[in-house]
Amino acid sequence: MPVKLAQPHTAPPGRLRSYLYELLHCCFQDAEASAEMTKFFERRRHQQQLAGKMLRQFKAVQKAGACSKEEAKKAMAELKRAKRALAAEIVSRQESDAQLKAMKAFDPEMLGQGKYRGGNTGHRKQRMDFMERVKAQYPPLRPELANNWGQFKQKFDERHCRIIGFEGKSYGSWFLNEMKVLLTKRQEGSLVAFQEWIELKLERNPAMFVGHVKV
């Protein structure tokens, strides 16, 4: 006669071990008990597989979450860096614009306007300094022009202070206008206008680079 056993899912947790021992003992005496034992272990194996699968999914989600947090942290750091760079660029641009406006408002008389051949050594120095300040607003010149920049500005000034206006007396205003054009182009975003200006002057008068230093 088959042995009657309580179902494992209805047995209290404390009796589960006793149930298994009882089932193992009976399975050798009864086919129904043996079948019950097989079903129990199949359910247990299925539950273990399901638990393992859920654990793997949990770890995968946890890992993805950690990666997402790390990526979000990096993105936030990059955003802060970009904001700082933008703020610095804005300040730099504001300072540059203020300097450009001040240079545009320069008095042409300080550059030798109305003076014979552009004035004296002081006026000439003012023009040299002005050209240097305009040059500083642009990226570095290509090597050949950079190596000969000192010679170019000297010859440029010597030549034009003799030919602009009657006896060079209009040179101060003409020079200031040349520089204002370059400053305006820089404010508009040009990075090459100054270099192109030099190249145009040399094309019209190559003598300003006679004996130039090659790279």
Please write the tens of the pLDDT for every residue from 146-175: 999 999 999 999 988 888 877 778 898 999
In a domain, 192, yes or no: yes
Mean per-residue pLDDT for 114-141?
A: 90
Q: State the pLDDT at residue 152.
A: 92
At residue 23, does pLDDT exceed 60?
Answer: no
- Count Cβ atoms below 10 Å from residue 193 Cβ, excluding itself: 18
Q: Which residue has the higher pLDDT, 168 or 192?
A: 192
Contact 24, 41 (CB under 8 A): no
At residue 28, does pLDDT exceed 60?
Answer: no
In a domain, 193, yes or no: yes
Q: Count up the domains in the chain and report the number.
A: 1
- How far does CA 209 lie from the centroid of its chain? 39
In a domain, 102, yes or no: no
Which amino acid makes up residue 65? G
At residue 37, does pLDDT exceed 70?
Answer: no
Contact 112, 124 (CB under 8 A): yes
Most confident range (mean pLDDT) of 31-40, 100-109, 143-152, 162-171 is 143-152
pLDDT bucket at 1, cuts 50 / 70 / 90 = very low
At residue 136, does pLDDT exceed 50?
Answer: yes
In a domain, 60, yes or no: no
Helix axes 149-163, 171-187, angle to 10 degrees: 130
Mean per-residue pLDDT for 118-127?
A: 90
Q: What's the domain range around 198? A: 108-209
Mean per-residue pLDDT for 62-71?
A: 68
In a domain, 127, yes or no: yes
At residue 134, does pLDDT exceed 50?
Answer: yes
Q: Which residue has the higher pLDDT, 116 or 85?
A: 116
Using DSSP's 3-state secondary structure scheme, residue 6 falls into coil
Q: State the pLDDT at residue 2.
A: 47
- Tokens of residue 163, six digits: 């030919």
In a domain, 141, yes or no: yes
In a domain, 174, yes or no: yes
Please state, for a pLDDT cut of 90, what percent of the chain lies above it. Answer: 22
In a domain, 175, yes or no: yes
Q: State the pLDDT at residue 168.
A: 72
Contact 152, 202 (CB under 8 A): yes
Q: Is the pTM of this model over 0.75?
A: no
Q: State the pLDDT at residue 192.
A: 94
